[in-house]
Structure 1
Amino acid sequence: MVTPRTSTRDRIIAAASKLFYSEGVRSVSVDAVAEKAGVTKRTLYYHFSSKDELVAAYLDDRDLPNLVLFKRWFDETEGDVGKKMQAIFDNLARATKSPKWKGCGFLRTAAELANLPGHPAVKVGMRHKKKVEAWLAEQFATDDSIREPPRLARQIVLLMNGSFALVMLHRDPAYMESAGNAARTLVDAARR
């Protein structure tokens, strides 16, 4: 059996992901990423023109897996859309109990780069959050009894991101569980 080789670019992104997520984007140097990836700094800069580009690639690499996970949790849950929404929050609450959980990488990076609103990584984070909101609106639109799916999706995204922040501050998954209950209540209230 042949094991597929990981490209140098992928190795760099994987190393950056581990370091940036665990330590933060500002505190990790390009030298540290190159060392963890097993490449020279020159090789890293061959693949990424700047640290800013590398930080954006780190978040871009997280985008699809996060959406796929949300979709899987949603699809695996029996019941109506409200129950499926609550299941996403319940699964997130379980994930936050892990000692490896450091918060939402998109929100943490945006907070670190708050004074740089045009930063490429901030733009990637904005795009990701908009994709989640659009996906939620699509799910709500499949239920003819739900009024204003885009409005409901925005409310759920507010609950989700607020609970990410509170769980990170307090290290208490109960905030995520409470947000899941509130999400289900919002879905029920949005029915005609």
Structure 2
Amino acid sequence: MSEAVSPTRKRIVDAATKLFYAEGIGRVSVDAIAEQAGLTKRTLYYHFKSKDDLIAAYLDGRDQPNLKRMAGWFDAAEGGVDHKVEAIFANLARSARHPKWKGCGFLRTAAELASMPGHPAVKVGARHKLNFETWLAGALSGQGIEDPQAVAREIVLLIDGCFSIMLIHRNPDYIEAAGRAAAMLVRARSRNND
């Protein structure tokens, strides 16, 4: 069995995910993660060279589930592509109303590591954001949207902007407002616009 799918490694990443998302990466010690996982610190270090590697694994583990969730919201929405894009934001706003929601783990981690741009977790976060942008550009392609890559990038800016403002205001209405702006952007760039 490879280390990537080792049950012990998964247990460590699950424990780290719970603690890092709830408290932030700087406030969580390796000792706390080992305790949460029910393992020794030595066992944790057998699976991860450093806390930095564990932080990167935490974010890497969130990449595909987050992308699948957003793609699912897009696919499930009825109506045109503008409504599908707005549905991503509407579902993010609904999620943000949950008391345990702490914002975008990728952006929060990048903010904590702002002075370390080469950190492995910052690289994972950048890859995640690019993965979402690439997926969205593909979803917009063939939908009559002019320059779907540029529109996808603009929508990413709206998403990350509302995530950032949520850290200050804690008001999901900002996410809904960004969703309306994204829908208007899609309509404005539609070749089918009458």
TM-score, normalised by the number of residues in structure 2: 0.94
Matched, 1:151 2:150: yes
Cα offsets for 1:142-163 (capped at 9, x unmatched): 21x2100110000000000000
Structure 2: gaps (5+ residues): 1-5
TM-superposed deviation, 1:139: 0.9
Query: CA shift at 1:164, angstroms?
Result: 0.6
Alignment of 1:109-120 (within 5 A): 109-120=109-120
TM-fit CA distance, 1:13: 0.4
Does 2:176 match 1:177? yes
Distance 1:77 1:159 in 2: 19
Unaligned runs of 5+ in 1: 1-5
For 2:150, give the aligned amino acid.
Answer: R
- Count of matched residue positions in the alignment of Structure 1 and Structure 2: 186
CA distance in 2, matches of 1:168, 1:98: 14
Using the size of structure 1 for normalisation, the TM-score is 0.95
Q: Which amino acid is the alignment partner of residue 127 of structure 1?
A: R
Matched residue, 2:188: 189
- Identity over aligned residues, as a percent? 61
Please give the residue correspondences for 1:98-177 in structure 2 after superposition, counting only pairs within 5 Å: 98-143=98-143, 145-177=144-176
Secondary structure of the 2:99 match is coil
Q: Where in structure 1 do 4 or more consecutive aligned residues deviate above 6 Å?
A: none
Aligned-residue CA RMSD in angstroms?
0.8
Paired residue secondary structure (1:138): helix
- Return the alpha-carbon distance in structure 1 between the equivalents of residues 74 and 94 of structure 2: 15
Partners of 1:62 and 1:85 in 2: how far apart? 21
For 1:8, give the aligned amino acid.
Answer: T
